[in-house]
Amino acid sequence: MKRLSGLKKIRTAVFISGTGSNLENLIKFSLKKKSPICIKFIVSDNKAKGLFFARKYKIKSKIFNFMNEDKVEYKILDSLKKNKINLICLAGFMKILSKDFIKLFDGKIMNIHPSLLPKYKGLNTHQRAIKNREKYSGCTVHFVNSKLDSGRIILQKKVRIYKKESPESLAKKILKQEHLLYPRAIKKIFPNL
Ligand code: GRF
């Protein structure tokens, strides 16, 4: 897809495992004239709810079976190559990619995590933040490196944790901010597109 500026948008794949609210948000963002990305492929590791958005917006998608871990990344790489993908956005993707895979896409894989990294890497971030009586949590968009939730941080957004906050209410509040943050982070890394 070309824009008025003549510059081509970056062919992007989004990897999901669940509901796909970040996926839909990124698709909507990608359809804006000023967005630097176009979403050309969606990867899922299961029959995720979010695949609905692939159908809705007519974007190619594929489910990859991670039971066969040795071969699955080759298959994903093959699909990414066929679809000329240059950027990967992880959006609620629950599988861990190998070091070799990450190396091949060095600096071209982004992730969104529902905590203020480096705090609360991994799962159950909201429960842990509340249990530790944190006053704030939030979300982080970062590059993916070989260590879990540890790559260079691109942007973060803080969210207040109130006294009677439940993991569910916090998750909801943070998800809203995720939807604002991911597009902003993408614009930040491609300022001239
Ligand atoms: C988000 O909170 C994301 O940060 C986390 O998983 C959730 C995915 O939500 N990694 P959705 O599938 O985008 O709705």
The string of pLDDT tens digits covering residues 6-18 is 679 999 999 999 9
pLDDT tens, position by position, 134-159: 999 999 999 999 999 999 999 999 99
Distance 91 CA to ligand 1 centre (A): 6
pLDDT value of position 69:
74
- What the chain holds in terms of domains, given with CATH numbers, is 8-189 (3.40.50.170)
Kindly state the DSSP code that residue 8 receives in the 8-state scheme. B
pLDDT tens string 23-74: 999 999 999 999 999 999 999 999 999 999 999 999 999 999 999 877 999 9
Ligand 1 within 6 A of CB of 50 = yes
Cα dist from 50 to 11, 61, 112, 188, whole Å: 20, 11, 16, 26
pTM: 0.95
Q: With a 6 A CB cut-off, is 138 part of the ligand 1 pocket?
A: no
Instruction: Return the residue whose CA atom lies nearest to atom 7 of ligand 1.
Output: 92
Q: What is the pLDDT of residue 3?
A: 57
CA 112, CA 185: separation in Å to the nearest integer? 10
Report the candidate in 116, 119, 109, 120 with the shortest Cα–Cα distance to residue 186: 109
Q: Which residues are catalytic?
A: 113
Q: Whose CA is nearest to atom 8 of ligand 1?
A: 92
Distances, alpha carbon 184 to alpha carbons 27, 35, 77, 82, in Å? 14, 10, 27, 28
**Which residue did the predictor score with more confidence, 128 or 69?**
128
Give the helix/strand (H/E) hosting 167.
helix 167-189
Residue 177 CA to ligand 1 centre (angstroms): 11
Strand-pair category, 87-90 with 10-16: parallel
Q: Are 44 and 61 contacting, i.e. CB atoms less than 8 angstroms apart?
A: yes
CA angle (2, 91, 152) in 5-degree steps: 90
Looking up tokens 């066969």, which residue turns up? 68
Distance CA 188, CA 184 (A): 6
For ligand 1, is residue 175 a contact (CB within 6 Å)?
yes
Give the pLDDT confidence score for residue 80 in this predicted structure: 98
pLDDT band of 2, cuts 50, 70, 90: low
